[in-house]
A and B are shown apart, each in its own frame.
Chain A
Amino acid sequence: MEKILREKDLLAGAAFVVIGGFFAVGALDYGIGSARRMGPGYFPLALGSALMLVGLALAGKMVWQRSDNLVGTLYVRPVIALFAAILSFALLLETAGLVAACVATVLLSALGSRETKLLGSLVVALVMAAGCSLLFVEFLGLPMTLWRF
């Protein structure tokens, strides 16, 4: 039983049913209209329902024909590190400027790998901060602040 719950077909099918259902149900609020004069909800409702059917078929295929294709280990470390790195960029760019955002993003994303060495990452951080400031702000003129205190 536990093994069934880790079947990729079942989980992918379930994901499709959830996503399709979300759009199909949401579409009901927008006005369906008729085929002749489609409302804004017509196309999303049709697509969402189709996606739910595909999801059910995928999950159904698993019952009919077990592939024993189980989900492997999820490596949380890179996911969390990169998620945090991007959020830090978003938050720091407008509050502290591009240099701080670059340094924080490099250092946080470096935490995602086991092979990270502090010195190497610090060098990358400084090179990226300097390089990006020159390339994107000075040369390409993107509207970003370099420093803000």
Chain B
Amino acid sequence: MDLFPNLALGFATAFSLSNLLYCFVGVFVGTVIGALPGLGAVTAISMLLPFTFGFEPLGALILLSGIFYGAMYGGSTASILLNLPGTPANAIVALDGYALAQQGRAAMPLFMSAVASFVGGCIALVLVGVAAPAIVSIALEFGPAEYFSMMLLGLVAASAVAATSFLRSIGMVLVGLLLGLVGMDIVSGMMRFTFGVPIMAEGISFIVVAMALFGLTEVMNNLEPHGRATITQPKTGWRDMMPTRDEAKRSVWASLRGTALGSALGALPGAGPTISSFMSYTVEQRVSRHPERFGKGAIEGVVGPEAANNAAAQTGFIPTLSLGIPGDAVGALLLGTLIIHGIQPGPMVMSRHPELFWGLIASMWIGNVLLLWINIPFIGLWVKILSIPYRLLYPAIVVFLCIGVWSVANSSFQLYLLAGLGVAGYVLSKLDCPASPLLLGLILGPMMEENLRRALLLSRGDFSTFVENPISGGILGACILLVIVTIMAEFRRGRRHAAPELEGKRSNVH
């Protein structure tokens, strides 16, 4: 493989002054956003996306992906100090991290979570560098039928692993696909569902939808009255950060297991950091000789999930960059960024824009090093940021949303759309309908329709083309299997919830 020359190209690109600056700003903003409860990575990325229009495509990608994995580092801070997760992926860390904080040892899990994130991130990045080019060489043989089936699998998988019910997620995927059809039909040039509003011809911008559902709706949900935790001010000297020898020994294997789990799950469409960290916690509890310590300050319950969610955040780039099929909402936003910058996503990206792909990989490695440096000495600073009251913070978020949406097309129509979609999103969130599948559908909708039409045109309208072709047929078979398994599991589960205490943690951040 040409891994090393490619990496050399990547580092040469990433070490330019402007790219280093983008990387630093990205991971810094990501850490702040991740640390603040009630502001997720998706919100932050969608809020900042419009301001990267003027950047080079690579700079924009470096900045936005830095926010994503930066948030995975920062999110543990609020979980440990406040028992209030900064992002859903860090929710599980609160169980043992907060317990340690109450014992007056907050600095130790904060330090260990940064180290574990670093380990997980670095190992996963090697996998991205190796696996993505291998997948690309297969994907280059793909025709429209394979593409269509692959996207279908992505959407089905994303719905199958989602926290709420499968039917709801599939429904939201379909709503997203339908919203993605609004605008001009590329084949016939006909206006669809535009109600004669000229600006609708360009379709509903995914940025406006993301800002409405992940920004505005989130703020509305966060404003519902509920008790807020008080912050514990930890001692943050170097000595307070050190684990005992026994804890250090246990952490090594826990973070490696977390890394392996996160890397594998993150690369699958739909799974992503949140599920990886929840599963890593369960695994650590299973393999532990003293499972009763969990929830009372077991360090494995912090480092395993932290390594897992950061590893998953990195390997999540594999399907996005190699196939052009996003695995989750963040992947969808990054894919949208590529499209805005005039780069057709898909396997060709790596051969046509090698500096973009390898530069991004290299910058993510640099970003992980920067994060270690940002997180450990400045733990005290993040604690201060956490104490900004939400009542002062959220009006500022609303203004940023407005300016961001307005700058998408310099028009107030987008703002009316934002307000309306925000209210719709609030109602849907009250019905437990998740927003991520909708965003995935919205981004994939036009591509799916195009590939479906092309495949059927080639086969003269014969739907069996999707099954006769072995790759496409195999993927479709996997889809059907996944649907059956998921529906059966859901019906068997019936009324009782799989893991009530986990569900409770998760609903905290919705």
- A binding-site residues for B, Cβ under 8 Å: 8-9, 11-12, 15-16, 19-20, 23, 26-27, 30-31, 34-41, 43-44, 47-48, 50-51, 54-55, 57-58, 61, 65, 67-69, 71-72, 74-75, 77-79, 82-83, 85-87, 89-91, 93-94, 101-102, 105-107, 109-110, 112-117, 120-121, 124-125, 128, 132, 136, 140, 142-144
Decide: A16 near B175, CB < 8 A? Known: A35-B456, A36-B461, A114-B225: yes
Q: Is there an interface contact between B175 and A51, defined as CB atoms closer than 8 Å?
A: yes
Residues on B with beta carbons closer than 8 Å to the beta carbon of A23: 178, 181, 193
Least CB distance, A132 to chain B, in whole angstroms? 6
- B binding-site residues for A, Cβ under 8 Å: 51, 54, 165, 167-168, 170-171, 174-175, 177-178, 181, 185, 187-188, 190, 192-193, 216, 219-220, 223-225, 389-392, 394-396, 398-399, 401-403, 406-407, 410, 412, 415-416, 418-419, 422-423, 426-428, 430-433, 449, 452-453, 456-457, 460-463, 491, 494-495
Interchain pairs with CB closer than 8 A, number: 195
Residues on B with beta carbons closer than 8 Å to the beta carbon of A48: 178
Residues on B with beta carbons closer than 8 Å to the beta carbon of A125: 395
Residues on B with beta carbons closer than 8 Å to the beta carbon of A36: 456-457, 460-461
Residues on B with beta carbons closer than 8 Å to the beta carbon of A113: 223, 390-391, 394
Taking A83-B419, A109-B395, A117-B391 as given, write out 13 further A-B residue pairs in contact, using a Cβ cutoff of 8 Å, ordered by the A residue number.
A12-B168, A15-B428, A36-B456, A41-B192, A48-B178, A72-B430, A85-B395, A90-B406, A90-B419, A94-B412, A112-B223, A115-B391, A136-B407
Decide: A26 near B193, CB < 8 A? Known: A47-B177, A51-B171: yes
Q: Is there an interface contact between A128 and B426, defined as CB atoms closer than 8 Å?
A: no
Residues on A with beta carbons closer than 8 Å to the beta carbon of B423: 79, 83
Q: Is there an interface contact between A78 and B415, defined as CB atoms closer than 8 Å?
A: no
Interface of B is mostly: helix
Residue of B220, B426, B461 near A35 (CB, 8 A) is: B461
Residues on B with beta carbons closer than 8 Å to the beta carbon of A105: 395, 398-399, 402
Residues on B with beta carbons closer than 8 Å to the beta carbon of A16: 171, 174-175
Q: How far is the CA of A110 from the CA of B396 in the complex (A)?
A: 9
Q: Is there an interface contact between A110 and B432, defined as CB atoms closer than 8 Å?
A: no
Residue of B401, B403, B449 near A43 (CB, 8 A) is: B449
Residues on A with beta carbons closer than 8 Å to the beta carbon of B216: 82, 86
Q: How far is the CA of A9 from the CA of B174 in the complex (A)?
A: 17
Least CB distance, A50 to chain B, in whole angstroms? 6
Q: How far is the CA of A75 from the CA of B223 in the complex (A)?
A: 9
Q: Is there an interface contact between B491 and A78, defined as CB atoms closer than 8 Å?
A: no
Least CB distance, B37 to chain A, in whole angstroms? 15
CB closest chain-B residue, reference A121: B395
Q: Is there an interface contact between A87 and B175, defined as CB atoms closer than 8 Å?
A: no
Residue of A15, A74, A77, A82 near B422 (CB, 8 A) is: A82
Q: How far is the CA of A27 from the CA of B399 in the complex (A)?
A: 37
